[in-house]
Structure 1
């Protein structure tokens, strides 16, 4: 009897331990299954949202010329490295790029903190709060002479400076050619995005020429060689107004009336700039732009307007328009005492370009010359950026560069002129040498905020900007 009771007790203990073993085994099995499920989900996420190899990095392959594709493919390795940055699954619907020419890191530091009083003129710039910062290399010093127009084309087309095609006296190759490099502005248009370009200088400057995919070095007809004119070459002004890229722009605002029309109003507050090109072939490209839009409106209803005064721009119900052309000065905007502010031009441009369900690319250029009040100009930019509502769908980039080309001549840049006169540069008092060194162009600072801004970090080639913007917009929600 005792033995039977003992046996029952042993069996109960064994059964209890078996149950414990079963519970432990079940827990382990469940843990393994959950771990495998998490690994599977993570792998799928990384496949969908991360970049594993060159083939996974998208850009508008079918929208660029074959010779241009070579350099985009070469730039993928650098882009791959940047895309390994902290995870940001969302891609932007819109991109705003602010290019500030005439300012570098030394200027920014000086204007934040002054030697006399740390509280005096201490400006908290909005871009200082941007989460990401990169430096774009300045390869201009490796070229002699460094042609200004080619610098802009390298930046906005993604082709290295020494590979940018040179303009030829005979334009037949460019007119009939199919391998002309496309700027990111044109790539965005081909992908169905709305586009805009705003500048405080003339629209026919090096930035406008590069973005507009023009193939000329001449802003208007006045200085073009006779042989080039006879061969069918067109100047930058005519190409911007009649070319496919310029015609497709939803917004273009800046100066340069004297390049677009032969007869322009001359007032004491807006004189003709005699250092710049003046058209003399009897043209009126402003009228041509209006007539061109009238013809387009007969095929597809569009609303457009041409504005040439600040009060016209202020009163404009911009959100109701599809296309706006604003020519606000005969030369650069600084030549017109009544020119609109950068803030007004940008705010109206955003109203025009922003439409429900459609993304956009807006590029804004601010030219700050050495004789201008830099702190005042930077405060204007700061006010402009603050006035724009932070949009979770928008990537905002601010580029600061002092690689400024103040001369209207397109022969050589300020940088190569400095390098060509190194003996004179380092011959003088210590203060003079420091001032000359301060004027030498340096790398471009790139501040980034918004979706995919994390890829803009580290030291990159100047071609990286075009490659990265092309990538993020090609993968944006505009393209599903």
Structure 2
């Protein structure tokens, strides 16, 4: 028989286990309740504060038609991209592509094919850049307006009406202890490698502004005698002998007839009689080579001077510290054997990325009248598509029509056109289109990469230089 004592022990054990079971069950129940409450609070917070992933908020998609859903799904991808948190880092490299001769109307029209409608929308790569700014054309309110002043506003950050007239007493300007410096020189001072590539001549308005060149005379032939006596140098001389030009790691473009006298005049690369021709017996190409030879005796450097496409194609450019290429007597459009934009950009980037220290590359594509603009835009698009995808690189594409009219200050081109509407619409269709095309238009600036978000809104021309200067100051190479 079970004794009374044994019965008591059995009851205590059962009571103890019942308590443990109750505690465990209670704990599980409380855990489940707390979890459900947390889920409820988080769901309500996400809905009220829009922190949920758009792709997860699909309740509204069930309400749209099937024919809409495919487009809404694509739109969600774009929204997710737009809602992605902005990168707080600064770029290590900056690439700027400047297209002279294209404006918003051209770009919008050439996006669509003309012959094969089945191809649909052929968006260019810059269509996918996340940020876009418009740069005002204040040149249309200046009289007279010089293209050189526009370039200085873009690359030096000085308003058009404040840009000094460098043709007046330029000897005093050359002897000044401190003058304005371009973003190219700022990048050099920040320890970045630098390059300038152009399909125009390197002594053009863009090259002159980037090289901090004073005066508007591309070579000695165009300089008045009193300017030479006052101590002026032409733009070609300054690009080779001044600090900015000396430290340029890459300089490729046209303009041989400004740099040297008695250049070869061939069928495929004729001398451009509309441009300046040096006649003082100079050979600035030889001077550049001698300059680098002298430098290499102090610090070993690898450099080369090339003047033909085949030389550039065969060049192992990744081993060079400095590269200069003068590929035409005038602009590259005048040389049927000039290298492609893609080839020049690829070789330039090989030079600039040699030491992994960061770089600033400025590429100018000049599209003169009479050239197939659609084809040129496609070449630029192909060049950008094939660039190395670098998360540390800020890429900008600036499009301007390069048309700078000279209206009077009290009558703009637009108001003058409106006042003449009856007469204008009696003109031939071709004349109307020409008049509309030659109206001043703002420049478009597309941006992608670290800190591309600062390029937004409608800005003055000077904003480009100010924004790049800020980026360069934070991208400074530290020893």
Q: Name the TM tier (shorter chain).
A: 0.7 to 0.9
Residues of 1 paired with 2:275 and 2:209: CA distance? 18
Residues of 1 paired with 2:295 and 2:320: CA distance? 14
Name 1:177's counterpart in structure 2. Answer: 176
Instruction: Report the TM-score, using the length of structure 2 for normalisation.
Output: 0.78
Residues of 2 paired with 1:97 and 1:134: CA distance? 14
Q: Does 2:322 match 1:313?
A: no
Name 2:254's counterpart in structure 1. Answer: 255
Structure 1 residue 272: Cα displacement: 0.2
Residues of 1 paired with 2:462 and 2:85: CA distance? 22
Q: Does 2:341 match 1:342?
A: yes
Do the aligned residues in 2 keep the contact of 1:403 with 1:414 (CA within 8 Å)? Answer: no
Residues of 2 paired with 1:216 and 1:121: CA distance? 48
**Equivalent residue of 2:440, what SS?**
coil
Residues of 1 paired with 2:120 and 2:178: CA distance? 50
Structure 1 residue 473: Cα displacement: 1.6
Structure 1 residue 419: Cα displacement: 5.7
Q: Does 2:287 match 1:288?
A: yes
Residues of 2 paired with 1:119 and 1:416: CA distance? 44
Distance change (3 Å), C-alpha of 1:115 and 1:340: closer
Structure 1, unaligned runs of 5 or more: 1-22, 28-84, 405-412
Residues of 2 paired with 1:435 and 1:119: CA distance? 30
Structure 1 residue 116: Cα displacement: 6.7
Name 1:333's counterpart in structure 2. Answer: 332
Do the aligned residues in 1 keep the contact of 2:100 with 2:366 (CA within 8 Å)? Answer: yes
Do the aligned residues in 1 keep the contact of 2:191 with 2:476 (CA within 8 Å)? Answer: no
Map 1:458-469 onto structure 2 (within 5 A).
Answer: 458-469=457-468
Deviation per residue, 1:27-74 (Å, 9 max, x gap): 9xxxxxxxxxxxxxxxxxxxxxxxxxxxxxxxxxxxxxxxxxxxxxxx
Map 1:192-207 onto structure 2 (within 5 A).
Answer: 192-207=191-206
Do the aligned residues in 2 keep the contact of 1:112 with 1:121 (CA within 8 Å)? Answer: no
Do the aligned residues in 1 keep the contact of 2:394 with 2:450 (CA within 8 Å)? Answer: yes
Map 1:159-170 onto structure 2 (within 5 A).
Answer: 159-170=158-169
Name 2:111's counterpart in structure 1. Answer: 112
Name 2:432's counterpart in structure 1. Answer: 433
Do the aligned residues in 2 keep the contact of 1:425 with 1:433 (CA within 8 Å)? Answer: no
Name 2:49's counterpart in structure 1. Answer: none
Name 2:150's counterpart in structure 1. Answer: 151
Do the aligned residues in 2 keep the contact of 1:212 with 1:245 (CA within 8 Å)? Answer: yes
Residues of 1 paired with 2:377 and 2:112: CA distance? 14
Name 2:358's counterpart in structure 1. Answer: 359
Q: Does 2:240 match 1:241?
A: yes
Structure 1 residue 168: Cα displacement: 3.2
Name 1:53's counterpart in structure 2. Answer: none
Name 2:9's counterpart in structure 1. Answer: none
Structure 1 residue 125: Cα displacement: 0.8
Residues of 2 paired with 1:375 and 1:165: CA distance? 37
Distance change (3 Å), C-alpha of 1:211 and 1:477: closer
Structure 1 residue 115: Cα displacement: 6.5
Residues of 2 paired with 1:207 and 1:474: CA distance? 22
Residues of 1 paired with 2:120 and 2:343: CA distance? 24
Structure whose alpha-carbon radius of gyration is higher: 2
Name 1:392's counterpart in structure 2. Answer: 391
Deviation per residue, 1:407-426 (Å, 9 max, x gap): xxxxxx44549968957986
Residues of 2 paired with 1:334 and 1:242: CA distance? 27
Deviation per residue, 1:110-130 (Å, 9 max, x gap): 111256754468532111111
Name 2:443's counterpart in structure 1. Answer: 444
Deviation per residue, 1:439-465 (Å, 9 max, x gap): 223111011110011111111111111
Residues of 1 paired with 2:94 and 2:235: CA distance? 25
**Equivalent residue of 2:297, what SS?**
helix
Instruction: Report the TM-score, using the length of structure 1 for normalisation.
Output: 0.78
Residues of 1 paired with 2:110 and 2:413: CA distance? 30
Map 1:73-112 onto structure 2 (within 5 A).
Answer: 87-112=86-111
Do the aligned residues in 2 keep the contact of 1:184 with 1:470 (CA within 8 Å)? Answer: yes
**Equivalent residue of 1:277, what SS?**
coil
Structure 1 residue 148: Cα displacement: 1.2
Do the aligned residues in 2 keep the contact of 1:157 with 1:181 (CA within 8 Å)? Answer: yes
Name 2:133's counterpart in structure 1. Answer: 134
**Equivalent residue of 2:402, what SS?**
coil
Structure 1 residue 296: Cα displacement: 0.7
Deviation per residue, 1:104-155 (Å, 9 max, x gap): 1111111112567544685321111111111111110110000111110000
Q: Does 2:275 match 1:276?
A: yes
Do the aligned residues in 2 keep the contact of 1:157 with 1:183 (CA within 8 Å)? Answer: yes
Structure 2, unaligned runs of 5 or more: 1-29, 35-83
Q: Does 2:473 match 1:474?
A: yes
